[in-house]
Amino acid sequence: MKFADLHLHTFFSDGTFSPEELVGHGSRLGFAAMALTDHDSVEGCARMAVACDATGIEFIPGTELTAELGDTELHLLGYFLDTQNKQLLTEISKFQIVRQNRIHEMVAAINKLGVPLTTETVFALANCKSPGRPHVARALVKAGLVANLDEAFERFLKKGRPAWVPKAKMSALEGMELIHQAGGLAVMAHPGLNRTDDIIPDLVAAGLDGIECFHTKHSTAMAERYLEIAEKYNLLVTGGSDCHGFSKNKPLIGTVKLPYEHVQKMKDVIQNRKSEIGNQK
């Protein structure tokens, strides 16, 4: 049986693996296909494609966007993206700048509490265009200002804590349109984490292509529930580990194995759309 992991992060956003290291793990675990879904970035896709090619793994270029519909936050995964698409690159670069500004705001809030973290140490450690809270947490640990990542989130960075700064979100409808115009499929990430079930019908009406049924943090019952929802709305089914590197001494990659038939269905939809566009010309 062939399997895929369609939710992975590298050090081009808040993961710790290089694309090559990630593909090394994928190869060791026998994956047939892997997607890279760094937050607000497609920068790692070129290296990941080369590494996958060298090991005979099928590569799917992707990204993970933070979006909202009304008051509900959701994460949108884009798959099979044209990573050279101008509008996509322009939009994500705006979100990268907002992410960089947010680091300054988070560090200032931490400094206000008398904790002497510097933005330089965070940026040096992040060393990417798409920095986020995990980088601040890692910098706090590295500087010996907290004992571990959990303490950093609990004391400072979790929602409602003093250094929590809301993240800029794009409208879900614009996010899906951005993905579509770049040739991609728009998929709702880890719905079980975000309590986003109520908005699924509206997203479907606006062009949502799929839903991430299998995710490290989804229970079996949750996965089954989202499989039913996928069936009801005729959505593609995706899944992935959301691996960000080593977590408690082992990487999450390998914990979710999406049967390859779902990747084939995604490719069929892309192919049908391409031929429809071709027929219209």
What residues make contact with ligand AMP under the rule CB under 6 A? Answer: 14, 39, 132-134, 149, 153, 158, 167, 244
Q: Of Fe ion, Zn ion, ligand AMP, none, which one sits near residue 245, judging by CB under 5 to 8 A according to partner kind? A: none
C-beta closer to ligand AMP: residue 183 or 245: 245
257 counts as binding Fe ion under rule CB under 5 A: no
Farthest CA pair distance, the chain? 64
In degrees, rounded to 5, the angle at the alpha carbon of residue 166 between the alpha carbons of residues 165 and 168 is 125
Minimum Å gap between C-beta 82 and ligand AMP is 24
3, interface contact from ligand AMP, Zn ion, Fe ion, none, CB < 5-8 Å by kind: none
Annotate each residue in 1-40 with x if it binds Zn ion (CB under 5 A) or - if it does not, as one string: -------------x--------------------------
CB of 121 to Zn ion, least distance (A): 20
If one asks whether residue 242 binds Fe ion (CB under 5 A), the answer comes out as: yes
Helix (H, G, I), strand (E, B) or coil at 42: coil
Beta strand ranges found along 131-191 (DSSP E): 170-171, 185-188
Task: Report the partner that residue 158 touches, choosing among Fe ion, ligand AMP, Zn ion, none (CB closer than 5 to 8 A by kind).
Answer: ligand AMP
Pairing of strands 33-36, 3-5: parallel
| DSSP assignments along 249-280, one per residue | TEESTTS--EETHHHHHHHHHHHHHHHHHHHH
Q: Which two tokens stand for residue 125?
A: 């450690």
